[in-house]
């Protein structure tokens, strides 16, 4: 059976990047399914916001609603069991001796892409869409463009079926991601990204800032806040 050429599976975590990727995919593919991974994250807030984001995206555009298909949540307890990381254990978020932040889960995106590829095969979805980005998280080797391209080749060979991995944010910084959200879906899409997507490593959702909810102090919050500030400044410049 040939994979239908216009169907995609989006790696959708509930974060800012993967939400913009989901909107990007809904613009391009006639059938779009989503996959999320539960790997024992210290705070499951990201997973909890996913259904709301999917519903709000569908409400933005009747065509998007028609295209948005099933959601799949895959438990990957084994990934947490073999990782010592600030995302899955009670470890401080800081730079480790290997020059990588302690939030780094070794090989996480390789594992995610393998599972996504296997599900895409079964669901007859030719395209994978993922939010990896070299621009901001340059410390994460499994976010690099070469890593993703190598995975595309491995998945295509290993399953003997063409698998295309799209990473629309690979060279886009956080300011650019806010701008892309507005470009794809206007002010409503931008509002959705700010209000509903989750980035904070501490799982904080009681404090609202101009850029969204979060503690305001962890690396993910700082990156998001700085990106939003640049986005506003650049918007003013082009206005
Ligand atoms: Zn935070």
Delineate the domains of the chain, giving CATH numbers in brackets: 4-198 (3.40.50.620)
pTM: 0.89
Burial (0-12, 13-18, 19+ Cβ within 10 Å), 179: buried
Residues with CB under 5 A from ligand 1 (ion): 200, 202, 214-215, 218, 221
**Is the pLDDT higher at 32 or at 134?**
32
* 79: phi then psi, degrees, rounded to nearest 5: -65, -40
The token pair at 201 is 């490593």
Quote the CA–CA distance of 104 and 95 in Å, as a whole number.
10
Using one digit for the tens of pLDDT, what is the confidence trace for 212-232?
Answer: 999 999 888 999 999 999 999
Q: How many helices (H) and strands (E) does the chain have?
A: 8, 7
The token pair at 159 is 């399953």
The token pair at 35 is 């996959």
* 232: phi then psi, degrees, rounded to nearest 5: -65, -45
Ligand 1 centroid to Cα of residue 163, in Å, is: 35
Ligand 1 centroid to Cα of residue 225, in Å, is: 10
Using one digit for the tens of pLDDT, what is the confidence trace for 73-95?
Answer: 999 888 877 776 555 556 566 66
Ligand 1 centroid to Cα of residue 110, in Å, is: 25
Task: Of 48-52, 92-96, 148-152, give the lowest mean pLDDT range.
Answer: 92-96
């Amino acid at each position: 059976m040939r994979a239908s050429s216009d169907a995609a599976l989006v790696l959708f975590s509930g974060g800012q990047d993967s939400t913009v990727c989901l909107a990007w995919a809904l613009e391009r593919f006639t059938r779009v399914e989503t996959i999320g991974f539960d790997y024992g994250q210290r705070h499951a807030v990201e997973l909890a916001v996913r259904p709301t984001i999917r519903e709000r995206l569908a409400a933005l555009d009747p065509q998007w609603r028609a295209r948005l298909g099933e959601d799949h949540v895959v438990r990957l307890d084994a990934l947490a069991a073999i990782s010592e990381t600030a995302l899955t254990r009670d470890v401080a978020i800081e730079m480790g001796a290997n020059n990588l932040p302690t939030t780094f889960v070794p090989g996480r995106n390789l594992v995610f892409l393998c599972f996504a590829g296997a599900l895409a095969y079964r669901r007859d979805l030719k395209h994978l869409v993922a939010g990896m980005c070299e621009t901001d998280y340059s410390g994460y080797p499994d976010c690099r463009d070469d890593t993703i391209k190598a995975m595309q080749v491995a998945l295509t060979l290993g399953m003997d079926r063409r698998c295309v991995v799209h990473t629309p944010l690979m060279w886009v910084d956080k300011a650019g991601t806010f701008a892309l959200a507005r470009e794809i879906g206007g002010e409503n899409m931008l509002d959705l990204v700010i209000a509903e997507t989750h980035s904070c490593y501490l799982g904080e959702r009681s404090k609202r800032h101009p850029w969204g909810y979060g503690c305001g102090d962890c690396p993910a919050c700082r990156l998001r806040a700085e990106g939003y500030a640049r986005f506003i400044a650049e918007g003013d410049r082009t206005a």
